[in-house]
């Protein structure tokens, strides 16, 4: 696993395999870059860069209380360090919020498009917003992370899959539960608190990158109406529904996801090739 030193001195781990158009893979809360292992076959045609976000996996010892903004800064700095051009950003859950912050900043120029996997523009519901989670649900998660992280993490690792978990996915769900539980509860609590405080709705209209919204039809977190909101809010977005998936279509239906991602990247390349170039 490779690594780079962020501007505050923290070590951020990442994997960098394959050649071609860069695909930057950003995982969800309590996961790590290894949760994109089922996308490994794409390395035959793309450069896959999967980052262990600060507070997770190989970046677990970065220290401090990680925030979404600091994690986005890490991703932007790595994109600069690797001199990425025309990359495709893939953000799953937490990773999508991080990606939106990256695309809204100067590093956004290094990306040609984005794929958002089962995420909302705002996690915390209120009287005028109901496309996230209730106040009670968010408070319960915060308390569980603080008081019994191991039990919470293991349950969450299983819950990312369509329920009930099938025999086909049982070993994968058990693995995910164990990987989630291996995190430091304090660091995850800090990231979760920062995520709950996010409201990126104002950012979306300014993100001009073509975006594919991937929605798991059996997700326990977000429904089709959440995907519809993102399609309406982003200037150049369309949605695709994965009928057999919960919160993690890239894990649950990897062959279909990989084909969908490959097709999206090919369309971006074709669009860029058709644009007039400066003489």
Q: Could you tell me if 35 and 99 are in contact, meaning their C-beta atoms sit under 8 angstroms apart?
A: no
Phi, psi of 3 (to 5 degrees): -160, 160
Whether the pTM exceeds 0.85: the reply is yes
Residue 166 CA to residue 184 CA, distance in Å, equals 29
Predicted local distance difference test score (pLDDT) of residue 63? 67
Distances (CA, A) of 93 to 20, 25, 27, 99, 133: 26, 11, 7, 10, 13
Compute the radius of gyration of the chain from its Cα atoms.
Answer: 18
pLDDT at site 188? 97
Helix (H, G, I), strand (E, B) or coil at 137: helix
Give the H/E segment covering residue 191.
Answer: helix 185-196
Instruction: Give residues with Cβ within 8 angstroms of 3, minimum separation 6.
Output: 11, 12, 13, 14, 58
Q: pLDDT tens digits for the chain (279 residues)? A: 899 999 999 999 999 999 999 999 999 999 999 999 999 999 999 999 999 999 999 998 766 789 999 999 999 999 999 999 999 999 999 999 999 999 999 999 999 999 999 999 999 999 999 999 999 999 999 999 999 999 999 999 999 999 999 999 999 999 999 999 999 999 999 999 999 999 999 999 999 999 999 999 999 999 999 999 999 999 999 999 999 999 999 999 999 999 999 999 999 987 765 545 443
């Amino acid at each position: 696993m490779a690594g780079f030193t962020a501007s505050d001195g923290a070590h951020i781990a990442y994997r960098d395999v394959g050649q071609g158009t860069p695909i930057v893979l950003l995982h969800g809360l309590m996961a790590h870059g290894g949760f994109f292992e089922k996308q490994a076959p794409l390395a035959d045609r793309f450069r896959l860069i999967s980052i262990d976000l600060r507070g997770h996996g190989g970046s677990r010892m970065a220290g401090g209380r990680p925030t979404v903004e600091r994690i986005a800064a890490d991703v932007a700095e790595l994109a600069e360090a690797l001199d990425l051009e025309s990359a495709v950003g893939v953000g799953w859950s937490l990773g999508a919020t991080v990606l939106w912050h990256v695309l809204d900043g100067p590093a956004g120029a290094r990306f040609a498009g984005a794929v958002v996997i089962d995420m909302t523009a705002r996690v915390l519901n209120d009287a005028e917003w109901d496309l996230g989670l209730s106040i009670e649900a968010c408070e319960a998660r915060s308390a569980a992370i603080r008081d019994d992280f191991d039990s919470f993490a293991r349950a969450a690792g299983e819950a990312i899959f369509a329920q009930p978990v099938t025999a086909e996915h049982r070993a994968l769900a058990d693995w995910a539960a164990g990987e989630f539980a291996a995190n430091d509860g304090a660091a995850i609590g800090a990231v979760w608190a920062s995520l709950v405080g996010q409201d990126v709705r104002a950012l979306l209209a300014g993100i001009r990158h073509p975006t594919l919204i991937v929605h798991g039809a059996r997700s326990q977190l977000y429904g089709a109406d959440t995907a519809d909101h993102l399609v309406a809010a982003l200037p150049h977005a369309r949605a695709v529904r994965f009928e057999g998936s919960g919160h993690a279509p890239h894990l649950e239906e990897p062959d279909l996801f990989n084909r969908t991602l490959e097709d999206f990247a090919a369309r971006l390349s074709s669009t860029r090739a058709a644009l007039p170039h400066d003489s």
